[in-house]
Each structure stands twice: as structure tokens, then as C-alpha cells.
Structure 1
Amino acid sequence: MPIIDSHYTMTQLFPSGAYDMQVLFESVLNSARVKHAFYQVQIKSFLLLLIRKILINQRHSIKRQSQSDRNNSTQSKIIADHIRNNYQNPITLDDMAKLLSVSVSTFSRIFVHNFDDTFSSYLMKVRIANAMDDLQASTKPITNVALDNGFQSSSYFGSIFKRMNGLSPRQFRQAHQSPDNQIQVISDPFINESSSGKHPSSYI
């Protein structure tokens, strides 16, 4: 049985093989076919050299991957920090692409790769998450909550909020607001409708 089956190609065995690896591989095959004196020793020598080349190639590949991972980590931090600090304001794909000094299409690809989501979807989730905190922790009118979290109108905010949470902002506030904040609403000097029988949150 031959030491190496000659029907295998370099591409099949080593998809990223360099030219010198190809030469070594062919030398091994040639020695196996000719079988001159000491051909087995020569084959072993060629195989050791080939293995060494493969290991070096793999090490370089790992280094490149490590550098790529570091770049991705840096890009992710820059993107996440910018969104966290500016989600209240208008942010466009063009703005984000300029932040990384890349084209819009390249930024979109980078974003999906790093966040497993589209930029617009991720930004919307950040805004809604912060709006949920505001609804629970404050007595701000819903319109203010919308504007403070980057939404252009309370109606658009309301439709997006209900689509993502199954509740309107008002319903969410009624279900999740702490008793302390509910008391603050009742005691608000601008609300003097205690005799109307309306729930305080209906004014927000």
C-alpha cells in the first residue's frame, strides 16, 4: 500500500497551502512513486518539513484571526459607546460609518457581524429599553419620555413600544410603576382631579 495516495490534491489536503508546501507535497509523491535508494528516509524528511510548514501556516492564521478579533472588539466598543451616549439624538448609518471611517455598506456588515442585529433594530431596542426605565422610574409625561429617548413623536413611540412589548406606554407604566412614583403623581400640585375618580396615570 503506498504511503500517500496520489489522487489527493494540495487543495483538498491544505486549502490555504502556500507554494513551498505544494512543492514539498509533490516531492513526497514523487519519492513514493520512484522508490530509489533510501526513498523512505527522504519521504520522512519531506513529511517533517511539510508538517513544519503546516504548523507555521496555522500559527500565522491564528495570529491573523486574533488580530481580527481584537479589531472587532474595538469596533464593537466604539459603536456601543456611541449609541449609549447618543441614543437620545438622531443617529444615522452615515454618522456611524464616519465614526469608523468606513463606507455605509461596510459598517452595516461590521455591525451585523458584531451585534447579530441590524443597526436600526438595535438602536430602536436601546431607545425602548431606556424609555421603559423612564416609565417605571419617573412621572414624566409620555410625550416627554418619547422625545427624551430619541423618538420624534409620542404616537410613533407608542406604536413601536406596543409592537415590542404588547402594551402601550401608559399600560406598561400602570403595570410596572413603583408605589412611590404613583404617590408622587397623586400629590402633584398640577393635578387637582381627585374627585373625578380617574386613575392618576391617565393624565400622563
Structure 2
Amino acid sequence: MLRIMTVSRLKTQNIALNTQGFDLQPGISRLNLNPEFPLNVYLDGHRDDTPVTELHVHDGLELGYCTAGSGTFYVGNKILPFHAGDMTVITSHEYHRCHSTPGTTSQWVWFFLDPIRLLVPHAACEFVWESERFCGAPFVNVIPNGENSLLHDLMKMLIDEAKQEDEYRNSNLRSLLFLLINELHRRFPRRGTDDQTTPNATGLSRIVPALNLIAQHFHEPLTVTELAAACDLSVRSLQAHFATQMGMTPQRYLMKSRVQAAAAMLHNHQNRITEVALSSGFNSLSAFNRAFRKIYSMNPREYRKQQRT
């Protein structure tokens, strides 16, 4: 039976739920999917602005839809802003976390599933699930609202169907997931051999303490020495691991985290740019402007104006 969860209660009857559907272990969030219908749905998920304390990875596919708010996703070595109307696709290959814009809470609907067990036995023709297409540096896990109207329409139809309580719901959800996953494969074709980069979970785990420290304290002064100490590594080893796993130096990752957090804050037009700069860890407006331009090729004022249009 389909598990549909809310923050405080279940939406369906006669369904046992373990820790709201998750078995939490360090770094791993096991989904505990029902073998008969391996799909869990959270209709009223939310993320506040509290920094997440550790990266995690699921043992299944996560499809998300942001219904309100904004914030930042950290997926592998990617830092991805999200806003209301965006959808997310995260496979079991990538460690991730997210938090909302400071002072806000974002609202979400999440679908967690095992595509092979849920769909393959019921496929009328050959069904393909190539999870390696949807991970690594070339894949942008946040699909902005308006970028692919069919994918977003299918997500909205999934959400509407999940709210139903009749005997047709499960079969309709399965059919919609067939369509959505097939469209994902059409939208994101198989990459060349040189691009088939599978994230190294073991290597990434060596720098998780530094990533967590940055996520929690990006707005404070942080040194490479402190980041290395958190990982029990030398500075040189930390830099080597960052280069391999993140494709950048620890300093650049910290700067990028600050700029992405600032970009999310700029969507609230009541925040003055100087306040945004200081709140995101920059000690001067000029330093903020330089860093922002490196990431977005425009200054913060131009970025805010662009978001209004």
C-alpha cells in the first residue's frame, strides 16, 4: 500500500510507519519502502533555515516539488538555489542537503521511490531507469519552474493524484511516474564516456565534516586550517580531497556557499544589499560585489533587478 505522510499524521489508513518512513544512519537515510508498493509521499514537507548538520544519501530516488519559499540545495559538489515552483531530482548516488533562506521556511512535496521495483514489473514495454544520467557535475538537480513545462505538469498531476483516496490512486500514480521518468530520460540523454562521472561516496565522506562546518557557519570567519582540523586532515590533504571531490579549493567552495546564500536572500526585496552581504559572511560590500560577480557575472543589484522581471 502507498505510504502518504504528513508532518504530524498519516493520510491513509492501516499503514504502519517506522520513524516517518526513514531509518536514519550516519550519512544514510534508508527509505523503508513498502515492498508491495515502494513509494512514499510527503504532502506537507518543510525545511526551515536551520543549517543541516550532515550530508545524507537515500537508497532510492527522491523527487521534490517546492510549493513555497526559497533556499539552497547542496548536492555533491553543486550548490543550487531553489525557489517556489522548482522541482528536484536526486538519485541514490549523491550526498545532499538543503536549507531555506534565512528567516524563512520552504514548503515541499516529496516522492521517494524505487523505480525498478515500482515500475519494471508493470511495464508494457521495456522500461529504462539509468540513474547515472541524473547525477554528477553535468546534471543540475534543481529544474527551475518554466524550464520544462511537461515535467512540471507531470509533477503537479502526481501531487493531485496522491491526494486522492480511491482505488484508482496507486495505478494512476504508477502511470504518471512512468511518464515522468521517461520524460526525464528524453530530456537528459545519455552522456559521453568522458562525462560519466560517478560521485565517489567514500572520498566525499572524508570532507563531509568540512562541508557541514561550512553549511552551519558560512556566515562566520572560517579558515582552511579549521576545516582541515574538522576532517582530521592536514591542510594539503584537505585541499587535495576538495580538488578531487568538489572540483575546487575549500576557499572557493566557502565563497560559493556564501554567494549562493546571499542570492537566496536577495529574493526578499526587504533585505538591504549591505545587510545581505554581512549576513552571508562578507566583511565589506566591495568584497561581496567582487565575489558575487565571479559567480553570477553581474553585481547583486543587477541580479535583484533581473529576478523582478
TM-score, structure 1 normalization: 0.50
Larger radius of gyration between Structure 1 and Structure 2: 1
TM-score, structure 2 normalization: 0.33
Select the structure with the greater relative contact order (CA < 8 A; seq sep ≥ 6).
2
